[in-house]
């Protein structure tokens, strides 16, 4: 910063400056602050015809834009002492003109000092520069799987600028188009997204420009957040990524033992089903056998003392008889017709009845005689 011999501040403004059409420009205007000199007024003026027109005013009440044409696209620096540069955005061709920077100070003795300087603004339609590719994270172009990441294509020139993203193919095939914005977003990044990418930029003026080819690699790791830190865990993949002699990524199948064959999984499931059905069948048979009533053959011996001899009864019970039925049978000659009495029991009963009747008949004959 320069200071006059008399100790007065001086403005530093370039003679001319060029801005891009539809782009942004800053017209510098600076001075070296002096002790005792207080800035009280800042003006920016534009020469329209034969006299200048005030487009910006800064006083004790704040900043004021004086022309509707500059609303929303004009700003004057204020953060750095001595810097009152003018910033214009979205330049139009009719913004070409002579701009004057004017600053007023109050001196230590209470007087005011005014300084002004004029610069010429030129507006040109600039061709698009060669675009550059960057990433939106600190990982660079090698990131873990599962991360949300973007590739950004940036170029300078007169907007609007059209961007197109391409991914190169193998076997000398034509690159495929994967995006038409300045940012190529992966949400999340997968191993299959790995490859060689480049972007193109095209403006209103000039030819289409190509960026350098970048190799984007997604590693087989999955991202998880632990508190405020990001941790990664390796995920086994059925495919491995290797680099060939030309420096390109190739996908090869992983070695044996890294994944279970499908037939082994089916065999294990089948064996498990067989074991379950076998156990169910055994439990069902055991429950059925506990509910069955097994009747044992019982032999009942009964002796009846008569005048001429004794009678023997044999009872054979078939299956289906309960223990209560066995105890309920009388040891006398009362015979039951229930279904649980078998055919053998009925035959024996009939024989015993005939034998008893024969004995009684013989006894009567003897008494008559």
Query: If you search the block for the tokens 């801005």, which residue do you land on?
Result: 19
Q: Among 226, 198, 190, 63, which Cα is nearest to 131's? A: 198
User: 365: part of which helix (H) or strand (E)?
Assistant: helix 343-368
Helix and strand numbers, DSSP H then E, in the chain: 3, 25
17 has which bridge partners?
Answer: 121
- The residues of the chain scoring below 70 in pLDDT are 1-7, 221-261, 289-369
User: CA-CA distance, 107 to 102, in Å (whole number)?
Assistant: 16
Integer Cα distance of 202 and 233 in angstroms = 41
The DSSP secondary-structure symbol of 133 reads E
Size of the chain, expressed as the number of residues it contains: 369
Instruction: Tell me the β-bridge partners of 218.
Output: 143
Pairing of strands 214-226, 142-145: parallel
pLDDT of residue 319: 40
CB 233 within 8 A of CB 189: no
Q: How many other C-beta atoms are found inside a 10 Å radius of the C-beta of residue 40?
A: 14
Q: In the structure encoding, which two tokens stand for residue 95, read together?
A: 């913004």
Element (H, E) at 115: strand 112-124
Q: In this structure, are residues 89 and 73 in contact, taking their beta carbons and an 8 Å threshold?
A: yes
pTM attached to this predicted model? 0.46
Q: How many C-beta neighbours within 10 Å does residue 285 have?
A: 10
- Write down the pLDDT at residue 289: 67
16-124 homologous superfamily: Immunoglobulins (2.60.40.10)
CATH 2.60.40.10 positions along the chain are 16-124, 132-219
Output DSSP code: residue 267. H
CA quadruple 126, 128, 129, 133: dihedral sign? positive
d(CA 120, CA 16): 4
What is the predicted pLDDT for the residue at 352?
56
pLDDT at 357: 57
Superfamily the domain 132-219 falls into = Immunoglobulins (2.60.40.10)
237 prior amide bond cis, ω within 30: no
């Amino acid at each position: 910063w320069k200071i006059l011999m008399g100790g007065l501040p001086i403005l530093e403004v370039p003679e001319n400056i060029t801005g891009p059409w539809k782009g942004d420009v800053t017209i510098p205007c600076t001075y070296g602050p002096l002790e005792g000199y207080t800035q009280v007024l800042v003006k920016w003026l534009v020469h329209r015809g034969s006299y200048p027109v005030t487009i910006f005013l800064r006083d004790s009440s704040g900043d004021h834009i004086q022309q509707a044409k500059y609303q929303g696209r004009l700003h004057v620096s204020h953060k750095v002492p001595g810097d009152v540069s003018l910033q214009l955005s979205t330049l139009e061709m009719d913004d070409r003109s002579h701009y004057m920077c004017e600053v007023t100070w109050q001196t230590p003795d209470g007087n005011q000092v005014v300084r002004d300087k004029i610069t010429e603004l030129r507006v040109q339609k600039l061709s698009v520069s060669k675009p550059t590719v960057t990433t939106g994270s600190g990982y660079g172009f090698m990131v873990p799987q599962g991360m949300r990441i973007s590739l950004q294509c940036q170029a300078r020139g007169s907007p609007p600028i059209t961007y197109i993203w391409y991914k190169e193919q193998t076997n000398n095939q034509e690159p495929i188009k994967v995006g038409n914005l300045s940012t190529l977003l992966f949400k999340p990044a997968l191993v299959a997204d790995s490859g060689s990418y480049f972007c193109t930029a095209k403006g209103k003026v000039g030819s289409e420009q190509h960026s350098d080819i970048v190799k984007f690699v997604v590693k087989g790791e999955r991202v998880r957040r632990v508190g405020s830190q990001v941790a990664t865990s390796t995920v086994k993949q059925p495919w491995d990524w290797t680099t060939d002699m030309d420096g390109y990524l190739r996908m090869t199948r992983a070695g044996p033992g890294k994944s279970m064959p499908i037939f082994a999984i089916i065999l294990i499931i089948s064996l498990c089903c067989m074991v379950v059905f076998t156990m169910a069948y055994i439990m069902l048979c055991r429950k059925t056998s506990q509910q069955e009533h097994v009747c044992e053959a019982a032999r009942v011996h009964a002796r009846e003392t008569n005048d001429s001899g004794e009678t023997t009864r044999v009872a054979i019970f078939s299956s289906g008889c309960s223990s209560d039925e066995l105890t309920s049978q009388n040891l006398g000659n009362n015979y039951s017709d229930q279904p649980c009495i078998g055919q053998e029991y009925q035959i024996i009963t009939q024989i015993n009845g005939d034998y008893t009747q024969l004995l009684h008949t013989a006894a009567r004959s003897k008494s008559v005689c």
